Structure 1
Amino acid sequence: MTAPIPSEKKATIGSRRALKSMANRLVHMRKGFTPLPIRDGLNATRARVPEPGLTAYSFVWHLVSSQRHRHPSDNEAAVLARFDAGEVVLRDGTVLSPDSVLTEGSDVYFYRTPAPETPVPYDIPILYEDDQLLVADKPHFMATMPRARHITETATVRLRRSTGLSELSPAHRLDRLTAGVLLFTKDRTVRGAYQTLFANREVSKTYEAVAAYQPSDAPVTWRSRIHKVPGEIQGTLVEGEPNAITTLESVMPLSSSEQAALEAIHGPQPSLARYVLKPTTGKTHQLRLHMWAAGHPILGDPVYPTVLPEDAEDMTIPMHLIARTLSFTDPLSGEQRTFTSQLVTTF
């Protein structure tokens, strides 16, 4: 648990050591602080102690041993090795021993060992880079951030490793099955400014989806309320105040060569078209749900209308949804920026 900041009465007047200690603890309280550095592209895990009296070893071993996706070699000896290396610490940097007794509510930091993952067989092209930003063309099947069973095969970790930029962090997220433009910040001091753009809906986004062709009086705007329960794969449309807004800007039938290219992947298909979508909001699965509800689910979607088994995933058969463009006014320079994915809809 973070130690209390010493009061002026307790600090020895003129003691540089006391003043330095106070300054360090104030820094440690900042949002996003971690006492362990990013290592091999991975952040340390932070876990809050739920009850008093636990030893550091019993707490960390419980977290490691109860992981759903656990590396086969991450055993008791591997956990003890973390302690021997001084890699189990409190928020203030205090190094814990296996028999250290933890205080309820304190935060413990340590490194997890990722379980083996199926490699995503695609590169992550860099579309643009400057001192603050890196813009990537995220491929299908690659999560944005580490989560659950997708840890190292994520855009953030793979780009951190390939570029050497350990502080690289996404300013927004794309669904794992969605490809396209993904904006990263390179420095934590500017991260908040760009994340705020997305939080305040100050970024214009355009997506392209492929689905069965149905003539439409586009542009048309879909407004609905999406409800998604954490842990459940599908979201649902429910009654209530709309929280998801998407504009269908245009529908264009694919060329015969594009149709043939997609049928080579998916088998025979009805006439297909490219749907250009502009979401105003960013709810999970918003575009996928809106396309499904409108009667034209996205080609290759393994969740809408039918949830396919996880082990049936084939990384040569994508869901055809691409985040095509991002446009915004740069919060630091005031410059108008537009980034465009170079990925092809027909994969």
Structure 2
Amino acid sequence: MTRDWKVLHLDEHLIVLDKPSGMLSVPGRGDDKYDSLAVQVAADFPGARNVHRLDRDTSGVIVMARDAETHRQLSRQFEQRETDKRYVAIVAGTILAESGRIELPLRKDFDHPPRHMVDQELGKPAVTDWEVEARYEDSTRLSLIPQTGRSHQLRVHLQAIGHPILGDPLYAPEELQTAANRLMLHAIELEITHPTSGQRMRFVAAAPF
């Protein structure tokens, strides 16, 4: 796989990258899914390891630690929701409200892996805040702020309210899967506290759509 990722920030403790759509964050099962951002970055920066993940088809800001202590500190920030994340997406249909909140519990869809699903009884709490950035003829551009970090959260939440993300191969109906040349979801901003300096740092990767 080509090295389409970009370095947004680099110091002795961490590396922040702009991951392209279509690239795994970490190796998957099987030799054909070994190539990934984690493998490529570690080849150039030995010791680099993932702290969090983006879905294969989601692009944008992702941070990796370059040593064990940084990994521990950053992992704690993500687990305790001390990070701030913002995404942009283009979804099907026109959303008339200017902003809102989606609160729907999620779990794995064991009958249809790797999909996830809303489950009011067995799902884990999941919260997504959204705000309209622009309206087009048959779609809407949203700014998304996840308050929790469930797998596929943004994709499932938007599908659940009737506005699946364009180009989503898992959650959009077929005609909307082909309405874009990629999943129209991008991690545009990430804010963390540097584990050594204690400085609050904000990283931005411009949306490619």
**Which of 92, 101, 106 is the aligned partner of 1:212?**
92
User: TM-score, normalised on structure 2?
Assistant: 0.88
Equivalent position SS for 2:23: coil
State the percentage of identical aligned residues.
29
C-alpha displacement of 1:213 = 4.0
Q: Secondary structure at the match of 2:159?
A: helix
Partner of 1:185: 65
1:160 alignment counterpart: 42
Equivalent pair of 2:165/2:172 in contact (CA under 8 Å) = no
1:284 matched to 2:151: yes
Q: SS in structure 2 opposite 1:195?
A: helix
Shift of 1:251: 3.8
Deviation at 1:122, TM superposition (A): 5.5
- The whole-number CA distance in structure 2 between the counterparts of 1:247 and 1:317 is 26
Aligned-pair CA distance for 1:282 = 0.9
Amino acid paired to 1:282: G
Contact preservation (8 Å) 1:152, 1:158: no
Give, in angstroms, the shift of residue 214 of structure 1: 1.4
Deviations 1:246-280 (A, max 9, x none): 001224125xxxxxxxxxxxxxxx53321110001
Q: Which of 96, 114, 118 is matched with 1:233 structurally?
A: 114
Moved >3 Å (runs of 4+): 149-152, 305-308
CA contact (8 A) 1:211 1:296 kept: yes
- Choose between structure 1 and 2: higher helix proportion: 1
Structure 1 length normalisation: TM-score? 0.55
Match of 2:206 in 1: 342
Is it true that 1:250 corresponds to 2:117 in the alignment?
no
Q: Is the 8 A contact 1:174 1:182 kept in 2?
A: yes
Give the deviation of 1:182 after TM superposition. Answer: 0.6
Aligned length: 204
For the 8 Å contact 1:226–1:236, the answer to whether it is kept is yes
User: Does residue 1:143 correspond to 2:24, yes or no?
Assistant: yes
Specify every segment of 5 or more residues in structure 2 that has no aligned partner in the other structure, as ranges: none
Deviations 1:57-98 (A, max 9, x none): xxxxxxxxxxxxxxxxxxxxxxxxxxxxxxxxxxxxxxxxxx
Kept after mapping to 2: 8 A contact 1:201/1:281: yes
Q: CA deviation at 1:222?
A: 0.6
- Against the structure 1 CA distance between its residues 129 and 253, is the aligned structure 2 distance closer, same or farther, given a 3 Å change threshold? same
How has the CA–CA distance of structure 1 residues 253 and 229 changed in structure 2, closer, same or farther, with 3 Å as cutoff? closer
| Greater fraction of residues in strand | 2
* Shift in Å, 1:234: 2.0
- Residues 156 and 307 of structure 1: CA distance in aligned 2, closer, same or farther (over 3 Å): farther
